[in-house]
Structure 1
């Protein structure tokens, strides 16, 4: 594209290309290349009224008897008094106290020999007083489009100067922004800029650096620029009224899927493979005429569809999505939908409208949507708008100044900082109220602080009291005290938050990561886990409330059940493996707590033995819809179990008191469990479920009960079976 240069201003795309080609670590003075060894002076504010100046010892031995503060806006020059001095190996440090600074102006420090250096504010992110006076509570950050003008607001309290650069009709227009209150820069630009690209140009030293707008609603492909859109053009009925009432969180049946995986199979008849539109495409059939796609989800009977990341992620080329694959746990922009899932990633409206239409259509079918959010790290610190706008603020540091790496991705978001927490709350509000999301699944929640998680829930549940939040509650090694981490060991401090119950997974199935695939669990034949299994089935083993337990035996992480059992239970042959997996899925649905199913788990999904498929090709990750035909009878059985759970509240008790009153799980000879459930309403008054993963048969005594699932031969519970009795 040929870009014009308007009034001597450089193209925003030239700025971006410069940064990409050079590499962030080679860029000094925020956008200018220079030789680091030639730096003689560094001047920085380190507190609200305190300046630190470093003079290189090779320059006049680091000595200067006097220093001056020059106001570049007015040209005034005044001497400032040295209040302290410190000498180290390379530099002599000078300190100046009680210096009044107007942050709307730009200053230089001048030494006794005439050497001058721009006074930088970036170190102020470590000063509590400065941050406190810079906190911004407004709800108007980002761009705000009107046909006659567009306004822009961005929070960048340590920036010296800010511009907004807009591309319209292949020409670039750059406008100065004014610093207003609480660290916010503002500009109102006349003209119609609908669907135009823009970036901010931020100055922290001598040059300007491009940054995306972390509050923009849309973006061009591959995160090259933000895009202005007219929100009146994306008003879509989200069909919330079509959703059935969710009285308790334990009424939820969660099904995890990936937008791309769901329709990418070679035999899928979807016209929108790998797209948002593919998720809500109706009338899809398998090769043999069985329901697929959205229709299949409706028939299955799930209540919530959890979508793996649908925000903008980094490592899939949005213009050539077939070239690279990634699950999406590599955030580039939390604020816009992923472009590779849209029909036109360079049109500002496509990704927004198609994402909203997907959620609206799911709602119309009675299915709530849970969004997988990754507010624990970014894909690239230096490329992120956060670091470019306010360097050093958004990411958690260790005591030595290095980035905290509890996520094992190189950086952790500093969620307990006020403006980081505000951002998470603002984006959570956007995804709930603007897009229609009904719940959040937090990735690596142990990186995030308890206060933030609780505030997100409070805000979202005030808007919709059926909103659910759950996540990975592992204790991550981030630089945050354990007592502040939103991990499952702190469940009593987060009574409204649910957690993936890895104890349920390990006890019932056995290990699923690469080095423990051979290990068996109770359902897969390890009878030493019988007593543990009794506790996890009852839902009273771990958390303050039963609805804090997300019961699962398979998710996108680690080996699928089938691939795991192909190693741990290979001696039982294919039919034995399939039987074990089906029993695992049944018990996930019938245990106390909230059941979670991975897409394809019910028809024996395989990833060819690959336990971490986050960037493997589509043929590994896609849903094989042929399995829908092959295992139709088993799917029908899972549908019946889902219906049984939904029609009988005894499988969905929400309090410990209800469970203690109505549920009894007995250990039978350390080989089998007898699971008794009572209720005062529903299809039946009482259930007895025999869970026998052993190779032994057991006598059956309850003749007054009807067998509604499984087989009883010669009055015996057969080996490796589940039998459901009811009266």
Structure 2
């Protein structure tokens, strides 16, 4: 096929305009727009621009109905370098117009060589830059196997792009929080409110359901957004809310629940809207509602692969799930394996995005996407799934993300690994550090080692001290720090892709990767370990991440199998089976202390909640556990223990057995001017021990602020009136096995 050049495009436009009487009058013009996507211009024109450098022709398809399989008009587009453009005006053209693309060009792929140019005009493609789409899923696009060499279309009529005018909406603004002050709460929009009876059925599991205040647990306690405020977190990390293909589960009656199969990087997920087609404005309303409560909003973003996945062979023919990029610019977007015949697969989905080299379309795609979410939706930070892909093959370690001025105020949190390897010192090596970039990173080693500590199994005081100081961890047995600032260590004990904190005390780890132990089925030991894990998390330097419901003992152990509890990505039923859905949905009764609907959950959920809430309040009240830089270590003598040299520093005042035995560590975080001093004592051993040198470390009296092993009402006193509310420690304090204590003194 002859490539459609500029003059050929003009001829095609002329022929089209001559035939418009048959389909409804439209005006067409050459577009000068440089932005990708569909943009409303002056005088009711709409510019359409799509990237397809190897195509020989691209048509814009216009539809009257969101479910129509056949377009009402097919508009030829004109090549402009690597792009294809056209300008359209007429009745029905504007905000709300449904549109798609069809692209012609070379087809190099085969069952033996799935990587390569994959053009077929029978594929109907949506716009990768669309601001809004109809729900995108496999069945919406294809009513038969989408073979790469098909001769007739199999388009099922769904997943259309929609022209959207963001200027109609109110901008949510931003909440500014210093990186060291962040306390992040990871939640799933659907899970968080799906069981709340105070919501109308059409609001449960939606953006607006999460935005609504005044909700209560069955026992009358705060739920929903009010629970977040009561808990005290100041940042919510939304699991993926970009449009994604939910039909990627591997069992009958299952959907992909978590959302890590993005199809459109500029459009919010349609399924979470309470009203069809309102996902854009409702997500903005959610962000605004959280901002009004002083809560920053992070998005969990998946730029390492797409929901198109990799092509596959069926009946000897190559099939490809082309939603957009795969059949517009596969070779410019996806990374080839070394044999240049297959897709690189460090993501496990068979289609890694390629960010190697200089000015690539994939880098522009991601940068434009991040800028839009930050500027138009008020997103305050981003968590990058499998972030190692962003820097794969380049020497700048994804600095192209950090350097973009359009979202320079946004927090950047990386998951610094993929199937190709670990990168624990992400952006903290080879000349990169906090002085020249703002990346922070999730630390899986923090989770692993703290979990082992709760089992009496870490037996490495140096490694433990490294974690609570916010220095991160590279690997087992390696003392090197992974972070050049404490806030670059994003600390976690449980997140979505693994057991909940509660389940890590319920299950024995099946393969050694989760570091979980069932506590010998001793429920009181589980209680103590859960409080210890939360306590370590919230008294460590760095940024803590709390998984939704961990603060009151949420459990997924009702899954069909232990593996399901650990990896519940497809625990959503396509037919509404409640036994499947409730594995991921939050059971708010647990906050009340009622486990009748979650027998594997605790009856002391309210105790866990109050413990977590109290520690968050302590963390926010003073600066001890949220230092912007590493505190100075003070080898203090008894006669200068209260002197100004200790302000803001820290001292280890007790250490138990050396490496090889469970640790016993006491650390004083000396308060800055106007703050008290805090001593935190951690006991990894199963036996209690006593710190008996308290008088050496304060001119005043130490009081007991927290004891994790005690029950509600005795475990924590209010930090805002500690001088009257907290009991005296005296000369010594005993700490129970697998527990921790916090002491406080004004040193006067």
Which one of the candidate residues 651, 675, 682 is aligned to 1:691?
Answer: 682
Which one of the candidate residues 457, 469, 479 is aligned to 2:402?
Answer: 457
Whole-Å separation in 1 of the counterparts to 2:651 and 2:200: 47
Q: TM-score scaled to structure 2, two decimals?
A: 0.71
Counterpart check, 1:230 vs 2:165: yes
Per-residue CA deviation, residues 380-434 of structure 1 (Å, 9 max, x unaligned), is 2441311211232210012211110001111100023511101100000011101
Residue of structure 1 in register with 2:494 after alignment: 554
**What runs of 5+ residues in structure 2 fail to find an aligned partner?**
10-30, 107-118, 138-158, 310-319, 472-480, 509-516, 572-579, 594-604, 635-647, 696-700, 708-714, 716-728
- Verify the 8 A CA contact 1:149 1:191 in the aligned structure 2: no
- Structure 2 vs 1, CA of residues 452 and 152 (structure 1 numbering), >3 Å: closer, same or farther? farther
- 1:323, distance to aligned residue in structure 2 (A): 6.7
- 1:173, distance to aligned residue in structure 2 (A): 1.3
Residue of structure 1 in register with 2:567 after alignment: 612
Residue of structure 1 in register with 2:348 after alignment: 408
Residue of structure 2 in register with 1:13 after alignment: none
Per-residue CA deviation, residues 534-566 of structure 1 (Å, 9 max, x unaligned), is 221112333222221011111001112221212
- 1:657, distance to aligned residue in structure 2 (A): 5.2
- Verify the 8 A CA contact 1:150 1:190 in the aligned structure 2: no
- 1:688, distance to aligned residue in structure 2 (A): 0.8
- 1:488, distance to aligned residue in structure 2 (A): 6.5
Counterpart check, 1:215 vs 2:129: yes
Whole-Å separation in 2 of the counterparts to 1:72 and 1:312: 32
SS of the residue 2:694 aligns to: coil
Whole-Å separation in 2 of the counterparts to 1:323 and 1:408: 19
Whole-Å separation in 1 of the counterparts to 2:61 and 2:566: 45
SS of the residue 2:284 aligns to: helix
Whole-Å separation in 1 of the counterparts to 2:3 and 2:733: 92
Whole-Å separation in 1 of the counterparts to 2:3 and 2:399: 46
- 1:371, distance to aligned residue in structure 2 (A): 0.2
- Verify the 8 A CA contact 1:692 1:717 in the aligned structure 2: no
- Structure 2 vs 1, CA of residues 578 and 207 (structure 1 numbering), >3 Å: closer, same or farther? closer
Per-residue CA deviation, residues 151-194 of structure 1 (Å, 9 max, x unaligned), is 21112121111111111266611111112245343333433323
- Verify the 8 A CA contact 1:491 1:497 in the aligned structure 2: no
- Structure 2 vs 1, CA of residues 578 and 394 (structure 1 numbering), >3 Å: closer, same or farther? same
Whole-Å separation in 2 of the counterparts to 1:598 and 1:306: 10
Residue of structure 2 in register with 1:645 after alignment: 619
Residue of structure 1 in register with 2:587 after alignment: 624
Which one of the candidate residues 350, 369, 379 is aligned to 1:437?
Answer: 379
- Verify the 8 A CA contact 1:504 1:553 in the aligned structure 2: yes
Whole-Å separation in 2 of the counterparts to 1:657 and 1:286: 41
Which one of the candidate residues 191, 195, 199 is aligned to 2:91?
Answer: 191
Residue of structure 1 in register with 2:650 after alignment: 663
Residue of structure 1 in register with 2:140 after alignment: none
1:382-397 maps to which residues of 2 (within 5 A)? Answer: 382=320, 383-397=322-336
Counterpart check, 1:376 vs 2:304: yes
- 1:650, distance to aligned residue in structure 2 (A): 1.9
Residue of structure 1 in register with 2:187 after alignment: 257
- 1:487, distance to aligned residue in structure 2 (A): 4.0
- Structure 2 vs 1, CA of residues 137 and 563 (structure 1 numbering), >3 Å: closer, same or farther? farther
- 1:339, distance to aligned residue in structure 2 (A): 0.9
- Verify the 8 A CA contact 1:255 1:305 in the aligned structure 2: yes
Whole-Å separation in 2 of the counterparts to 1:537 and 1:399: 42
- Verify the 8 A CA contact 1:312 1:336 in the aligned structure 2: yes
- Structure 2 vs 1, CA of residues 489 and 404 (structure 1 numbering), >3 Å: closer, same or farther? farther
SS of the residue 2:264 aligns to: strand
Whole-Å separation in 2 of the counterparts to 1:104 and 1:585: 67
SS of the residue 1:232 aligns to: helix
Residue of structure 2 in register with 1:141 after alignment: 36
Counterpart check, 1:718 vs 2:735: yes
SS of the residue 1:279 aligns to: helix
Per-residue CA deviation, residues 2-53 of structure 1 (Å, 9 max, x unaligned), is xxxxxxxxxxxxxxxxxxxxxxxxxxx9xxxxxxxxxxxxxxxxxxxxxxxx
- Structure 2 vs 1, CA of residues 218 and 527 (structure 1 numbering), >3 Å: closer, same or farther? closer
- Once the two structures are overlaid, the 10-residue window that deviates more, 689-698 or 274-283, is 689-698
SS of the residue 2:504 aligns to: helix
Counterpart check, 1:419 vs 2:382: no
Q: TM-score scaled to structure 1, two decimals?
A: 0.73
Per-residue CA deviation, residues 230-276 of structure 1 (Å, 9 max, x unaligned), is 3332x214143xx3x52x31110011000011012375646511111
Counterpart check, 1:706 vs 2:655: no
Whole-Å separation in 1 of the counterparts to 2:210 and 2:7: 49
Counterpart check, 1:178 vs 2:113: no
Whole-Å separation in 1 of the counterparts to 2:200 and 2:682: 40
- Structure 2 vs 1, CA of residues 486 and 677 (structure 1 numbering), >3 Å: closer, same or farther? closer
Per-residue CA deviation, residues 605-660 of structure 1 (Å, 9 max, x unaligned), is 11104100000132100111011111223312211111111111121111135567
Whole-Å separation in 1 of the counterparts to 2:3 and 2:373: 43
- 1:335, distance to aligned residue in structure 2 (A): 1.5
Whole-Å separation in 2 of the counterparts to 1:405 and 1:283: 46
Whole-Å separation in 2 of the counterparts to 1:533 and 1:453: 30
- Verify the 8 A CA contact 1:690 1:717 in the aligned structure 2: no
- 1:578, distance to aligned residue in structure 2 (A): 1.4
Per-residue CA deviation, residues 567-626 of structure 1 (Å, 9 max, x unaligned), is 314326111111111111111111111111111111111110410000013210011101
SS of the residue 2:591 aligns to: helix
Whole-Å separation in 2 of the counterparts to 1:505 and 1:544: 19
Whole-Å separation in 2 of the counterparts to 1:562 and 1:713: 34
- 1:533, distance to aligned residue in structure 2 (A): 1.0
- Structure 2 vs 1, CA of residues 142 and 527 (structure 1 numbering), >3 Å: closer, same or farther? closer
- 1:440, distance to aligned residue in structure 2 (A): 0.5
Whole-Å separation in 1 of the counterparts to 2:541 and 2:633: 8
Residue of structure 1 in register with 2:540 after alignment: 591
Whole-Å separation in 1 of the counterparts to 2:615 and 2:33: 48
- Verify the 8 A CA contact 1:342 1:351 in the aligned structure 2: yes
1:33-52 maps to which residues of 2 (within 5 A)? Answer: none
- Aligned residues between the structures: 573
1:140-159 maps to which residues of 2 (within 5 A)? Answer: 140-145=35-40, 148-159=44-55
SS of the residue 2:170 aligns to: coil
Whole-Å separation in 1 of the counterparts to 2:584 and 2:225: 18
- Verify the 8 A CA contact 1:270 1:281 in the aligned structure 2: no
- Structure 2 vs 1, CA of residues 265 and 165 (structure 1 numbering), >3 Å: closer, same or farther? same
SS of the residue 2:678 aligns to: strand
Higher strand share: 1
Which one of the candidate residues 396, 411, 419 is aligned to 1:468?
Answer: 411
- 1:343, distance to aligned residue in structure 2 (A): 2.3
SS of the residue 2:327 aligns to: helix
- 1:229, distance to aligned residue in structure 2 (A): 2.2
SS of the residue 2:185 aligns to: strand
SS of the residue 2:673 aligns to: coil
Whole-Å separation in 2 of the counterparts to 1:659 and 1:269: 51
- Structure 2 vs 1, CA of residues 531 and 572 (structure 1 numbering), >3 Å: closer, same or farther? farther
- Verify the 8 A CA contact 2:53 2:81 in the aligned structure 1: no
- 1:696, distance to aligned residue in structure 2 (A): 2.6
- 1:214, distance to aligned residue in structure 2 (A): 1.0
Rg larger for: 1
- Verify the 8 A CA contact 1:491 1:543 in the aligned structure 2: no
- 1:679, distance to aligned residue in structure 2 (A): 2.5
Which one of the candidate residues 102, 118, 130 is aligned to 1:201?
Answer: 102
